[in-house]
Amino acid sequence: MSEFQVYLQLGFDHISDLNAYDHIVFIIALCAAYPLNRWRSVVLLVTAFTIGHSITLALATLRLVLVPTDLVETLIPVTILATCLMNVWRPFEARFGRKTSYGLALFFGLIHGLGFSNYLRALLGMEESIVVPLLSFNIGLELGQLMIVAIFAAVAFVILRILGTPHRQWNLFVSGAAAGVSAMLLIGVN
């Protein structure tokens, strides 16, 4: 097995690991506000999120920034909760525009990236090049995220198109559920 394959798999397994569901819940919350015909916006949002976490993953693994794990693990559910609240708060997009959403997804990505990097940094050490591990881990994360988006879109297709549920109801249901999960994480109930 090559170094690239090893870290690609670690990244993919990490984002799709049901034990590490905070990232999954965040991706779902990002998608929830968008009806199926606005899939382009979802792709842009997820890309913004990826750019954000790639930046901090690199910075933190290279030891250019250091944020305590405990703080990052508190901030991650905050990003989920904030995303959910903005999903259900109708005037958000009208007032701030779509660019704000992409900017926030990027900013939240920065926080999630710190979460990935604290773990990777602890395990990698400094004695060898970390370019390949970092890059392949990130690509693995990205592939995992795309898989989550695809599964969510398939479920949304059934709910919205086949069952004919209004999108607003679906958004409220998903965002409410995700907000509940983030609240549990925030107060430390696992």
Partner 1 sequence: MKTLGVLLCLVFLAAAETGPAAVPAAGPSPTVVPVAAPATVPVPAAAPAAVPVPATAAHVFYVSIARVKWNADDARLDISVRIFTDDLEEAIVAKGGPRLRLWTDQAHADRDRHVSAYLASRLAFRVNGVDRQLTYAGMEDALDATACLVQITGVGRVETIEVENRILIEMFDTQANVMRFEIAGEKKYVNLSKKTVTGTVRFGT
Give me the residues that bind partner 1 (CB under 8 A), please.
Answer: 1-3, 5-6, 9-10, 13-14, 17, 19-23, 68-71, 73-76, 78, 81-82, 85, 89, 115-116, 118-119, 121-125, 127, 185-186, 188, 190
Q: d(Cα 140, Cα 4) in Å, to the nearest integer?
A: 10
- Minimum distance, C-beta of residue 37 to partner 1, in the bound complex (Å): 28
Q: d(Cα 178, Cα 174) in Å, to the nearest integer?
A: 6
Smallest CA-to-CA distance from 89 within 187, 179, 185, 182 is with 179
Q: Which is nearer to partner 1, 21 or 157 (CB)?
A: 21
Q: Which is nearer to partner 1, 42 or 181 (CB)?
A: 181
Q: Which is nearer to partner 1, 39 or 119 (CB)?
A: 119
* Eight-state DSSP code of residue 127: S
Q: Which is nearer to partner 1, 166 or 180 (CB)?
A: 180
- Minimum distance, C-beta of residue 65 to partner 1, in the bound complex (Å): 13
Residue 178 near residue 84 (C-beta atoms within 8 A): yes
- Minimum distance, C-beta of residue 40 to partner 1, in the bound complex (Å): 28
Smallest CA-to-CA distance from 183 within 102, 80, 92 is with 80
Q: Which is nearer to partner 1, 1 or 162 (CB)?
A: 1
- Minimum distance, C-beta of residue 92 to partner 1, in the bound complex (Å): 10
Smallest CA-to-CA distance from 16 within 27, 6, 5 is with 27
Helix (H) and strand (E) counts in the chain? 7, 0
